[in-house]
Amino acid sequence: MAILSFAQFHERSRWKIWDYAWAGAYFITICTHNREHYFGHVTNGEMQLSHAGILADVFWHEIKNHEKNVELGAFVVMPNHVHGILILTGAGAGNVGTLHATSLHATSLQTTSVRARSPQQKNETMAEISPKPGSVSTIIRSYKSAVTKHANRLGLVMKWQERFHDHVIRNDTEYNRISEYINHNPQKWQSDEYCVS
């Protein structure tokens, strides 16, 4: 079975009609700022976690203890990013809840249109485009915040990039390929596009 590259998964367009609080499986990638190797290193195809890498690992697995209707699929911490599958099992609420899933151009248009409205219309529009509780965006924001908070508390140097990549997994075949890609990521580190020496 061919394992797709990271770029092949993430080159697909995000669904503008999709609500990222809806039940489904989501392939998530979060990179460190400037792809710095904060989380450890790969030796002989196995990830050796730094203290910051341990935090990234532990707090990912804690997500299911703090969020309702969430299960976790395959996950790996790499030197400068994490890959994981989030599975939302409950019915979502409202409109699309991930600002990162909207293009910068679309966000700019939304912001411009908000300025031209009445205060009540502005509040309603901001409520529509703000991340919803239980959405992918709020879950990832909480995860990143927890890792950063505890890294700072322990005096560890690390910083996330501002945004993250997501992909809605469409079927079982894709789910299995993505899981395999995640599980084999350390063995393929030297050819990984994020392997910046």
> pLDDT for 108-134, tens place per residue?
334 344 455 666 665 555 445 445 667
Q: What is the pLDDT of residue 60?
A: 98
pLDDT tens per residue across span 32-74: 999 999 999 999 999 999 999 999 999 999 999 988 889 999 9
Question: Measured between alpha carbons, how far is 88 from 174 in angstroms, rounded to an integer?
Answer: 17
Distance, in Å, from the CA atom of 50 to the CA atom of 67, rounded to the nearest integer, reads 26
CA–CA dist 53, 119 (Å, integer): 44
d(CA 158, CA 148): 7
Q: How far apart are CA 80 and CA 48, in angstroms?
A: 12
Which amino acid, 145? S
Whether the CB-CB separation of 147 and 162 falls below 8 Å is answered with: no
Question: Which domains are assigned to the chain?
Answer: 7-187 (3.30.70.1290)
Q: Which amino acid, one-letter code, is at 109?
A: L
Kindly report whether the global pTM for this prediction surpasses the value 0.85: no
How confident is the prediction for the chain on average, in pLDDT? 78
Instruction: Please give the C-alpha separations between residue 38 and each of 10, 54, 77, 158, in angstroms, as whole numbers.
Output: 23, 11, 10, 6
Tokens of 125: 């529009």
How many other CB atoms sit within 10 Å of the CB of residue 142?
15
Nearest to 71 by CA among 24, 28, 31, 29: 24
Report residue 112 as tokens: 């411009």
Alpha helices in 77-129, H assignment, sequence order: 104-115, 119-129
Of 196, 81, 68, which Cα lies nearest the Cα of 134?
68
